[in-house]
Structure 1
């Protein structure tokens, strides 16, 4: 019998000629297929070379790696062993298959050795932690930029809409103002026409209303031994007082005697008035008082025949006397210079210098005379002539 190395028969040993399993894997033993040949005796187990012994688990807490097994060469297998020939099997002994069947043995898991350079696969480099952080920051910035762009767009759109609405509102305000102005002008015109119509229709000539409006501006004049009538006219004088008209023949005697102050009476009160100017040809005199009274408005158009009027005065010294009538005619008269207004309202001595008023509460003439032996024949100086001579209207 040979004294060479013997096969390893320990549990988990690998037969000679069988490559060692790759470290770190469990490879089950595979049965060898039967081979034809002469019957042989079983091969005794041989010890396994040290380089084929699988790695064993190391101590706890020491995962390796461990030094590799020593490299060959290894001693040859002794002659006469593998493969045969072997002595014949004694008679009566059953023949054994060749090679002998070795039951599979589990291979324990070994600690991994350093990978072989040829089979090592390099692991992909780990992505740096900062890359993910930058990607998240980039996504956040992108979303923020999109939201900011949308917000700016909305603000711009709102500004445009506000501008359009402001323009439309301004246009509506202008149109409303124009319409209000037009309506206001139309309303004023309508009111003016209505007032004129009321004055022209029969019901508009109201003697009571006219008398109440003009009587506070009409006075009895006392000029020496003579009495007559005077009335306030025009706006207030420059000194805040009041200008008045009367006939020259009412103050003529006092004026020729050098007197320049007369008395005017209203509601039992007497006021001084000065004779400022006179015109003998048109029989008009201008008076002035420091007392404040409302002046009557003069007519802008001349009196016309048929126009209704009232005459206000102090006939025979009777103050606040009112009579009514119409304009009878506009005629020339040898009694006065220029045309005269003839009217039929009753007048008497003392009416001289009083106003003749139309339905619009305007003065159309100054009463100057009447025929003694006739009825309804009164004469008045057109107010326009008096305003031309005395610029107080």
Structure 2
């Protein structure tokens, strides 16, 4: 049985002709498409291009203003009752015996404060700027915008002024958490992957959430029902900026433009943070040039020791820079030269040209 990754509705082969889930109108993922084709022996009968065209014509959705459930645009504007909550999706319904809350929709909380068991929320941390390391307790199913963030954090994170008045919202489907960009002017991205307006994008603990085109950077620290949390991170000792190592991405290429792709988020966030706290762009940019486009590769692995020995958890750091990478005092000079260090020996110290000092440590 193949199910929609957003609303969990059962998908059948006939849905391929539309290219979207019949319940929530979210495009059928490539994984589900392949599963449906395989189950129905339709490998050649439903071309990818046709599915993509139909998907584009049907993928526009609007979130229900009461529960956040994605609603096809036509149903939304016609006032067709939301299948999830039964209300008119165009208007937010408030229970008669519950007066509207007067508290800000985003609240700063201490890491030791307990969250209300009745209110589902997402805990974010500020990744760059003067508020680095502070936590935000963000409610689900509530449109959030510039005023909400300004009330909670002011200018402690750069780029708040570029957040739209209604920028995004967080919603839950079963045990999964999603962020929905509400058609904002400057966009939202998750781990360098741009969100499509009004289409839910799944979030996991440790994901890097960028709001307003790169100005405001947050990290998903926790949410109710989260299945797993990252165990390790890379920390820049000078700034305190860090990047979590997620088990779903055990191989990390660190550099200014590794493999011709975007700058690694750790370096990007170090730059953004130092600019936000007042350093000049020229001096920071010049200092970052000591980092090669492809500096080193980090792999998190499990290996057996010996023929029948126990499993060992370790990090493998491989140098790709002509200027070398120093790991725990060992200078890796040649391209491809590597060192293996067990997680029991953490922290691992990585030095780049005596300018940057990073720690791989357990969170």
Considering the TM-score relative to the shorter chain, is it more than 0.5?
Answer: no
TM-score by length of 1: 0.20
Higher relative contact order (CA 8 A, sep 6+): 1
Rg: which structure is higher? Answer: 1
TM-score by length of 2: 0.21
Q: Which has the higher helix share?
A: 1
Q: Which has the higher strand share?
A: 2
